[in-house]
Chain A
Amino acid sequence: MDKILIANRGEIAVRIIRSCRELEIPAVAIYSEADRTAPHVLMADEALCVGPAPSIDSYLNVERILDAAQASGANAIHPGYGFLSENASFARSIINAGLIWIGPAPDTLDLMGDKVAARGLAASVGAPTVPGSTEPVTDLTSAEQTANEIGYPVLIKAAGGGGGKGIRVVENQKQFRSAYERARSEAASAFADDRVYVEKMIVKPHHVEVQIFADGKGNIVCLGERECSIQRRYQKIIEETPSPFIKASIRNELSTLAVDIARACRYTGAGTVEFLVGEDQSYYFLEMNTRLQVEHPITEMVTGIDLVAEQIRAASGQPLSIRQQDIQPSGHAIECRIYAEDGFDNFTPSVGTILELTAPGGPGVRLDHGIREGLEITPYYDPILGKLCTWGTTRPEAVARMARALEELRIIGIRNTVPFCMAVMHHPVFKKGTYCTHFISDFQSDLEAWATQDPDQLVEVAALGAALFAESSPATQHEPEHSQVEESLWARSGRERQVSQ
């Protein structure tokens, strides 16, 4: 492989550039007009503009991306996650242009990207699936009928997508129509496919996924599982490995099924098989993510394997260098996703300028991010700013280390999920490791209470800081530079006061 173009942005583009560097392969970044000075552009060996800010005109613009590959002389493309990473026609255009696609074959993407076909394939190797519609539904009447047959609560999910977009929970028949319309419309805008399916909701579920890696030559290994049950709006926010919930026998069964599924769909590269595990440890195949996952670093931390480097090796035709018996996961790793969202205001996105950034360090800490001081966070893209991961020899050590690293991480200027993640690390249910996917909704008020407790002494320090600042620089008092952001924060503070009264 001579040169790799990374068809992505943000933290994942930075992550891929790092592996390229270590393999001594030049890395080419692409960027939208809004991302001209983003860290992935600053880090890359070459960078080419692929269009205006909206993703549809830039990071999803296949023609411009292929032009950029040609102009830079890149002979391979890494798609990262999201954007075009699971788009079979993009993969085909790359292969047809004589370039290397770092990912599974387009036919595999087609097969596993169709949720219904994927469930059929999983069932054929013996993986149980959640009861629900066997075909995507396009009319309200049959969708509603299916829901009535399997019984409420049900989920409505996009047939063509993932990542939590286009998913709606319906508690009863009365809510069905509105939820169905929203899910279809979200699915249409996110995946250009408005088909949805309806399925039974599993009570107190856990989201457990298995990382596999295949070299395309018949060698497939399993790299352990990840528990991804801390979710908001059906999107993951905190993940850990190993799962503190599943029994060893279930772990073995899930691993075997994941490898069997990968074999059945002729998989190449890094892939993830997602399962829903009920309270009683009964499990169901959900879907296969045919790309690198956001949360791949925790698997890397416990296995010591660089998944991106392995992807590059597999795409260049090299057989797997590791055998299953060489993979001995060690210790425990946790990831906290740092989103530009307010965890205590319904995860409302926050935009603005990063005024200050201090990264944590020390033993067992890994921070993957795509931000810098002075960078403006725009509403055009996914709100992920970065991922903080910690490793410990035991789970309590990894949790304590995460709490410590979150305290060290300072992102000033926009609201973010750091305080929320801290509150989770201190919650007794999380510490015990007995949480399910309802954790956030069940314990939102505990988390908020923890995060808003004001030790008297700190309140006084804040007052002191403000007064000294005002006294020493009276001229700046009434010239807000970031008035828009601040006004809304003030409004929010006002609401908090009203609520507490």
Chain B
Amino acid sequence: MIFQATIGERTIRLNITRKGGQPFVALEDDTPNLDLVQISPFSYSLLVDHHSHHLSIRSSREGYMVDLRRRTYFVRLRDDLDLTIEKLGLNETGQDHSGQVLAPIPGLITGVSVVKEDEVASGDKLLILEAMKMENEITAPMDGIISAVYVSPGEIVEKGALLIEIHRH
């Protein structure tokens, strides 16, 4: 199975084959000696040419999160099929939802400073979200007109909840 892994700026090509259940990987031009053993529901021991690594790997809709040493790496994997689809240009999304103001953390709405139809400039205060005993000021991400306010003071919101929508002029 051929994969193209993207981590930040880097793209790495890997080819995984199996012989009798044992994986063999061609990593770019290298074929390291590998041993991957699962040690808990989320964690693995990986020996790469005798170098010992303790990883935690979790999947998500968009790829994989790999915790290794002090970092969490976000790995996007594309296999042959994904790459073919991409080449054909069938994977265009290009969404822009910058007018949606989402709750960055779960918490309690303690104040809302705008109402529908208000004109706001980027950086203007929209509301106060209190979490872990700290008050966080949520500001407008762009200039525009408030098209909807979905929350009111006293309301507890989940992370990612839609709070306010701004319509560009």
Interfacial residues, chain A to chain B (CB-CB below 8 A): 165, 182, 185-186, 189-190, 233, 348-351, 355-356, 379, 381-383, 406-407, 410, 412-413, 415, 418-419, 422, 451-452, 454, 456-472, 476-484, 486-490, 493, 496-497, 500
Q: A464-B25, A466-B77 are in contact. Are A483 and B132 (CB under 8 A)?
A: no
Whether A459 lies near B12 (C-beta < 8 A) is yes
Whether B27 lies near A464 (C-beta < 8 A) is yes
Q: A233-B134, A379-B106, A466-B77 are in contact. Are A355 and B42 (CB under 8 A)?
A: yes
CA distance in complex: A467, B7 (Å): 12
Whether B43 lies near A497 (C-beta < 8 A) is no
Give 4 new A-B contacts, CB below 8 A, not counting A460-B27, A486-B65, A489-B74: A165-B134, A412-B42, A462-B7, A490-B62
CA distance in complex: A466, B44 (Å): 11
Pick from B47-55, B83-91, B142-150 the stretch touching chain A: B47-55
- When distances are taken between beta carbons in the complex, the residues of chain B under 8 Å from A351 are 105-106, 159
Please name the residue on chain B nearest to A451 by beta carbon.
B70
Chain B interface size, as a band, is 35 or more
CA distance in complex: A463, B66 (Å): 8
Please name the residue on chain A nearest to B2 by beta carbon.
A467
- When distances are taken between beta carbons in the complex, the residues of chain A under 8 Å from B60 are 480, 482-483, 486-487, 490
Q: Which of B40, B111, B130, B134 has the most CB of A within 10 A?
A: B134
Whether B160 lies near A488 (C-beta < 8 A) is yes
CA distance in complex: A479, B64 (Å): 12
B41 within 8 A of A: yes
**Cβ distance B44 to chain A, nearest Cβ, rounded Å:** 7
Q: Which of A165, A451, A465 has the most CB of B within 10 A?
A: A465
Whether A489 lies near B132 (C-beta < 8 A) is no
CA distance in complex: A459, B74 (Å): 10
- When distances are taken between beta carbons in the complex, the residues of chain B under 8 Å from A452 are 71
- When distances are taken between beta carbons in the complex, the residues of chain B under 8 Å from A415 are 72
Q: Indicate which residue in A182, A410, A451, A497 contacts B67 across the interface (CB closer than 8 Å).
A: A410
Whether A382 lies near B132 (C-beta < 8 A) is yes
**Cβ distance A272 to chain B, nearest Cβ, rounded Å:** 21
- When distances are taken between beta carbons in the complex, the residues of chain A under 8 Å from B61 are 478, 480, 483, 486-487
CA distance in complex: A355, B57 (Å): 11
Q: Indicate which residue in A186, A407, A461, A500 contacts B48 across the interface (CB closer than 8 Å).
A: A461
Whether B7 lies near A459 (C-beta < 8 A) is yes
What would be 13 A-B contacts, judged by CB atoms less than 8 Å apart? Answer: A233-B134, A349-B132, A451-B71, A452-B71, A454-B71, A461-B53, A463-B5, A464-B32, A465-B44, A466-B77, A467-B77, A484-B160, A497-B8
- When distances are taken between beta carbons in the complex, the residues of chain A under 8 Å from B46 are 461, 464-465, 468
Whether A460 lies near B23 (C-beta < 8 A) is no
**Cβ distance B65 to chain A, nearest Cβ, rounded Å:** 6
CA distance in complex: A415, B70 (Å): 11
Q: A351-B159, A463-B5, A464-B25 are in contact. Are A482 and B71 (CB under 8 A)?
A: no
Q: Indicate which residue in B59, B111, B131 contacts A379 across the interface (CB closer than 8 Å).
A: B131
**Cβ distance A245 to chain B, nearest Cβ, rounded Å:** 28
Q: A461-B53, A463-B75 are in contact. Are A348 and B70 (CB under 8 A)?
A: no
- When distances are taken between beta carbons in the complex, the residues of chain A under 8 Å from B133 are 165, 190, 382
CA distance in complex: A350, B5 (Å): 27
Q: A412-B42, A412-B43 are in contact. Are A465 and B57 (CB under 8 A)?
A: yes
Please name the residue on chain A nearest to B18 by beta carbon.
A471
Whether A489 lies near B65 (C-beta < 8 A) is yes
Q: A467-B5, A488-B160 are in contact. Are A355 and B71 (CB under 8 A)?
A: no
Whether A189 lies near B130 (C-beta < 8 A) is yes
Q: A356-B56, A490-B63 are in contact. Are A459 and B44 (CB under 8 A)?
A: no
CA distance in complex: A479, B59 (Å): 8
Whether B105 lies near A462 (C-beta < 8 A) is no
Task: Give 1 or 0 for each of B116-155: 1 = CB within 8 Å of chain A CB.
Answer: 0000000000001011111101000000000000000000
CA distance in complex: A418, B68 (Å): 13
Whether B3 lies near A470 (C-beta < 8 A) is yes
Whether A462 lies near B59 (C-beta < 8 A) is no
Q: Indicate which residue in A350, A471, A480 contacts B16 across the interface (CB closer than 8 Å).
A: A471
Whether B132 lies near A465 (C-beta < 8 A) is no
Q: A459-B10, A463-B14 are in contact. Are A471 and B57 (CB under 8 A)?
A: no
- When distances are taken between beta carbons in the complex, the residues of chain A under 8 Å from B32 are 464
Q: A189-B110, A470-B3 are in contact. Are A462 and B73 (CB under 8 A)?
A: yes
B34 within 8 A of A: yes
Q: Which of A349, A452, A477, A479 has the most CB of B within 10 A?
A: A349
B36 within 8 A of A: yes
Task: Give 1 or 0 for each of B1-34: 1 = CB within 8 Å of chain A CB.
Answer: 1010101111010101000000101010000101
- When distances are taken between beta carbons in the complex, the residues of chain A under 8 Å from B135 are 182, 185-186, 189
- When distances are taken between beta carbons in the complex, the residues of chain A under 8 Å from B158 are 484
**Cβ distance A496 to chain B, nearest Cβ, rounded Å:** 8
**Cβ distance B142 to chain A, nearest Cβ, rounded Å:** 16
Whether B75 lies near A461 (C-beta < 8 A) is no
